[in-house]
């Protein structure tokens, strides 16, 4: 049995591999990921999948927190238009993504680091292609380096609290 190590597996040329947080719709994209796994399809293992009931339920704060916690990219997967189990959840996800891209641009986060894809339960091959494509694009962009401020106001660390 191999010895456990403290160092993570390094497979890139410089040892860096992108970390992707994937929010997948329970009814379509998550099932496509399940089908890809049961079909033994090979695709990049860089994503950590979070199952949500609908892509429209992905709060922009979830995406911001993923980037703040070290994700290099975020993938949101939902049902095709007209196939949403909640009628218009995927339309809501698209509207939110467009607004979120503007906010992320203000933080200096490239538009290519967040992606929204419509993948049905039967499209495991599309899921594989999307995952591999996203990993290759993130490798080309390199690691996301944003400055996340400490909690609170560090410039007020020496100031005493005044209560009335």
Span 113-123, pLDDT tens digits: 999 999 999 99
The pLDDT value recorded for residue 157 is: 61
- Rounded to an integer, the average pLDDT of 50-66 is 97
Contact of 28 with 79, CB cutoff 8 Å = yes
- Per-residue burial over 84-109, b = 16 or more CB atoms within 10 Å of its CB, e = otherwise: beeeebbebbbebbeebbeebeeeeb
Is the entire prediction scored with pTM above 0.85? Answer: no
Tens-digit pLDDT profile for residues 93-114: 999 999 999 999 999 999 999 9
Domains of the chain, first to last: 20-156 (3.40.50)
């Amino acid at each position: 049995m191999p010895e456990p190590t403290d160092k993570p597996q390094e497979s890139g040329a410089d040892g860096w591999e992108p970390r992707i947080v994937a929010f997948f719709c329970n009814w379509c994209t998550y099932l496509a990921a399940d089908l890809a796994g049961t079909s033994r399809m090979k695709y990049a293992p860089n994503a950590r999948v979070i199952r949500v009931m609908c892509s429209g339920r992905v709060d922009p704060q979830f995406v911001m927190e993923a980037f703040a916690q070290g994700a290099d990219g975020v993938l949101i997967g939902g049902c095709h238009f007209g196939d949403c189990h909640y009628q218009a959840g995927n339309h809501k996800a698209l509207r939110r993504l467009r607004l979120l891209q503007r906010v992320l641009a203000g933080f200096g986060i490239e538009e290519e680091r967040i992606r929204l894809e419509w993948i049905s339960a039967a499209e495991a091959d599309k899921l594989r292609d999307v995952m591999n494509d996203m990993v290759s694009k993130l490798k080309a962009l390199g690691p996301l380096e944003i400055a996340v401020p400490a909690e609170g106001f560090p410039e007020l660390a020496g100031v005493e609290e005044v209560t009335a």
